[in-house]
Amino acid sequence: MSVGLEYTHIEKIAGEPARLRQSPRVRVAQVAMDYLAHGWSVDEMCRQHLNLTPAEAHAAMAYYFDHREEIDREIESEFQEASDSLAHAGAVPFVIRMKSKGLL
């Protein structure tokens, strides 16, 4: 017998990343990245992101741990995209100015 889990604060549409139902711009992967990068607890995530409720943060973390491979692939893809963008970007004017002044 198989029991399906329901994540009441999470919305998952086929082919799209899992998101918070009340804040669809916030993806589960973003919450998981706070945990992975900073080691933040749910309480700390809520202190850092005032719009995030404890129930949403717990639901996002539960979804992450239950679907870890899916979310880790999403995080890796996003990291690779950001790395590729940085590699193809030209020098940032701010950095050029700071280097010319000997500040970097």
Per-residue pLDDT tens for 42-101? 999 999 999 999 999 999 999 999 999 999 999 999 999 988 887 777 777 887 888 888
Task: Give the chain's domain count.
Answer: 1
The answer to whether 6 touches 18, Cβ cutoff 8 Å, is no
62 within 8 A of 41, measured Cβ to Cβ: no
Q: Which helix (H) or strand (E) holds 20?
A: strand 19-20
71 is a domain residue? yes
26 falls within a domain: yes
Q: Which tokens sit at 77?
A: 């893809």
> Is position 27 within any domain?
yes
In a domain, residue 60? The reply is yes
pTM for the model:
0.79
Domain extent at residue 17: 10-100
3 inside domain:
no
Residue 4 lies in a domain: no
- Is residue 2 domain-resident? no
